[in-house]
Structure 1
Amino acid sequence: MVRILTKPQTISVTKPVGENFPEEKFNELETFIDGLKTTKGALVEILHKAQEIFGYLPRDVQLYVARKLGIPGAEVFGVVSFYSYFTTKPRGKHTISVCMGTACYVRGADKILERLKEKLGIESNEVTEDGVFTLKDVRCVGACGLAPVVMVDDKVYGRVKEEDLDNILKSYRNKETKN
């Protein structure tokens, strides 16, 4: 039987603290959860906030959420693994998504993806060594008229050619060196 709390309760939960998990982040998540009128049906909302705070949902964060809500860790993991939005691995500062839908694929998206893998030195769903980029291949971004499409974060690049990739990557690398 799953017990769902209808009102946030102050539960003393040990916060895992390590080099990747500063206590301030757990405090921010705890404040968010405690500020909810109810936690019933709020697991996805809480996980969204946790991923916003931590950048991803590692095991320790998932277990913290489970303990805080008084639900099994397997239930939290089930939700995290079901929704493709959630990730259990760190992401780069910028996510490059290559549309592999039919229109993009027939117009060379597979070649664009392969060239990005070469240029970044990673495979799909991996992060570059410097932590700047995550590369993903996605099913369809709904911009078929612009095929092939590459998205960097929320910015759409249409009719992308292999020779465009250096300038696209350079613009984001330059942003990172300025920060």
Structure 2
Amino acid sequence: MKRRFTNALLLAVAVVMASCGDDDEGPSSYYTLDGSKKTLASGIFFYDDSPGESKSGKTIYYHQVTLVSAGINVNGTSSSGTGDLVTLMLASETTQLEIGSHSFVGDDTEAEPQDFVYGDIAVGFNASTGNATSEYDFESGTVTVAKSGDIYTIDFEGEVVVENQTQKHTVSGHYSGTLTSILND
């Protein structure tokens, strides 16, 4: 009896140790703001089906990717809870999110396809009130989008500032997963 208990205990410890291995590597989807890493739980793609015109006269669509941290529950177009949001506005020549690298321009009147038009981070965002503890606006950066099947991989980096301040903060992130698509009205 003692031997079976010891074997069962060793098996349980082995299972726990094996499952803890991935945790040491950190979350697979995250963002880091000034060295503080936070997990991203889901992503939403708000797409536009009405084209505009870029500065050079090309057809352009503006698409918003919002990456959501744990704590915020998204159900269709409604959400609840409190957490963080990373919002990235990207320009595209099609109604689809363009694969490739998007460089920051910060102004939609200057945007061309595959530009990173603007972005922000809402820390401590309360879905019920629409308010955040802190809001950061991108001042520079790049967003790289890849896709395999239904899985998007989105990597971003840049500098952000708190609204109405000048001190720059570094941000980077990685998201790998599906994006819930919602038509922008």
TM-score, length of structure 2 as denominator length? 0.22
Bigger strand fraction: 2
Bigger helix fraction: 1
Give the number of the structure with larger relative contact order, counting CA–CA contacts within 8 Å between residues 6 or more apart: 2
TM-score, length of structure 1 as denominator length? 0.22
